[in-house]
Amino acid sequence: MTLGDLHYSKVEKLLVTSGLLFQTGRFVTRLRSNIKNFAKDLIRLYGDTPLISDALVDFNIELQPSKGLHRWYHPQVNFSFNGISPFAPLPIEQSLPLLEWGLNWCVSSHYHNKLLIHAAVVEKYGRAIVLPGQPGAGKSTLCAALVLNGGFRLLSDELTMLDLQTGEVWPNPRPISLKNKAIEIIKTRSPKVNFSTTVADTVKGSVSLVCPPLASIESVETPARPGLIIFPRFNKDLESYQLTQLSKGKAFIELANQSFNYAILTEQGFLALGKHLDEAECFEFVYDGDLNLAVDIMNELIRPE
């Protein structure tokens, strides 16, 4: 049974009482919330997600309207994890992005059984393409295009998880977070895909979340072998694209820098990253925003010989 099979009123009732238990990537989340109409947004975004009853819970979280007099003229939402609020409250319209950021925080600050790297990652032919990138480099946009039009499986939009023993990539399929112009671009390319309502004026501009494909959710226990590591960079003044091979040493340092828990895992993290890089090829990919071309190139690179 999935979250989408439940009637709206039932979801709402769970949210305000014992909490809604559902699968978020590799983890089970219990969410409580009294925010009006939040059930609707949740069903839209997590409709294909398995619903769980009576399960062991990883993340016990709440999204609640914050108290205080300002709630009457400037309502805010507060995220809490087992009663601890790590962030300042946000305007209540940003509840859905806050849920996603909060869940990312839950994983990146507590889960050290795998090496966590701040990168999108997709899979084809059993091999992963890891897409690290500074904000604005276009990693989420490229990730969305590969998943929605390129036949790639979404492993994660934000958190690449490397197995400490094998260096393989474990999926954590959750919604893809698109920002600003990328929202319209992807909507035009994939009109049939389910998007959340666009939320304007967040710290990162406008945000819209894309539902993860059902196939990704269902194959959460299938890891991907190392394949490619592509550092995308968007450059609108460029004619066409540039693909440059990158040394593994340089890629290693970049990935270690982009890792949340490299310093926590120390030697284990070093070995896991080394294992992954032993089998992966690394490139820097500068492109002008032509997503069709980018998808073709990735398909070419990942194709088995």
Partner 1 sequence: MLLDILKKPQIITNFSIDEWNDFISQAYASKLLGRLYKIFEAEQLLQCIPEKLLWHFESAYQLSLTHSRDVRTEILHIRRALKLAGLRTVFLKGAAYEISGDEVAVGRVYSDIDIFVPKTNLASAESVLLWNGWIKGDINAYDESYYRNWMHEIPPLTHKIRGTTLDVHHNLSPLSARFKIDSELLSCAVEDDSECLGVNDRILHCIVHLFMETEFDKGIRDLSDIDMLLRQHINDSKSLWNDLTARAAELGMGRLYFYGVRYANKLLGTYVPASVLIDLEQKFAPNKILLAFMDRVFVRAFSQPCFLTHTFKSQLATTVIFIRGHWLKMPMHILIYHSVKKGFSQLNNLLTGKSNKKTPLPINQP
CB atoms within 10 A of CB 50: 16
Instruction: Give me the 133-162 binding string for partner 1, x by CB under 8 A, dash otherwise.
Output: --x----------------------x----
Burial of 134 (0-12, 13-18, 19+ CB in 10 A): exposed
Contact between 197 and partner 1 (CB under 8 A)? no
- Piece of 35-43, 93-101, 193-201, 217-225 that binds partner 1 (CB under 8 A): 93-101
Candidates 217, 238, 227; CA nearest to 138 is 238
Q: Do 139 and 9 touch, CB atoms closer than 8 A? A: no
- Residue 79's beta-bridge partner residues? 63
Using CB under 8 A, which of 12, 29, 33, 58 touches partner 1? Answer: 58
Residue with Cβ nearer partner 1 (112 or 242): 112
CA distance 29 to 20: 8
Segment near partner 1 (CB under 8 A); pick from 36-44, 73-81, 232-240, 278-286: 73-81
When asked if residue 273 is in the footprint of partner 1 (CB under 8 A), the reply is no
> Applying CB under 8 A, which of residues 38, 46, 79, 170 lies at the interface with partner 1?
79
Q: Quote the CA–CA distance of 222 and 252 in Å, as a whole number.
A: 24
Whichever of 3 and 90 has its CB closer to partner 1, that residue is 90
Cα–Cα distance measured from residue 69 to residue 92, given in angstroms and rounded to the nearest whole number: 14
Q: Which range binds partner 1 by CB under 8 A, 9-17, 83-91, 230-238, 284-292? A: 83-91
Q: Applying CB under 8 A, does 165 fall inside the site for partner 1?
A: no
56 touching partner 1, by CB under 8 A:
yes
Which SS3 state, helix, strand or coil, does residue 275 take?
helix
Q: Does 30 contact partner 1 by CB under 8 A?
A: yes
- Tell me: does residue 2 bind partner 1 (CB under 8 A): no
Binding status of residue 81 toward partner 1 by CB under 8 A: yes
Smallest distance from the beta carbon of 186 to partner 1, in angstroms? 17
Report the nearest approach of partner 1 to the CB of residue 6 (Å): 21
Are the C-beta atoms of 43 and 10 separated by less than 8 Å?
no
Query: Which two three-digit tokens encode residue 7?
Result: 């009637």
**In the set 46, 170, 260, 285, which binds partner 1 (CB under 8 A)?**
260
Residue 290 DSSP SS3 = coil
Supply 134's token pair. Answer: 């500074």
68 in contact with partner 1 (CB under 8 A) = yes
If binding is defined by CB under 8 A, does position 166 make contact with partner 1? Answer: no
Q: How many helices (H) and strands (E) does the chain have?
A: 10, 16
Between the alpha carbon of residue 303 and those of residues 118, 128, 228, 259, 299, the distances in Å are 25, 12, 11, 28, 6
Q: What letter represents residue 124's amino acid? A: K
Determine the size of the site formed for partner 1 (CB under 8 A): 55
Contact residues for partner 1 (CB under 8 A)? 28, 30, 54-58, 60, 66, 68-70, 74, 76, 79, 81-90, 97-98, 100-102, 104-105, 108-113, 118, 135, 158, 177, 202-204, 207, 257-260, 262-266
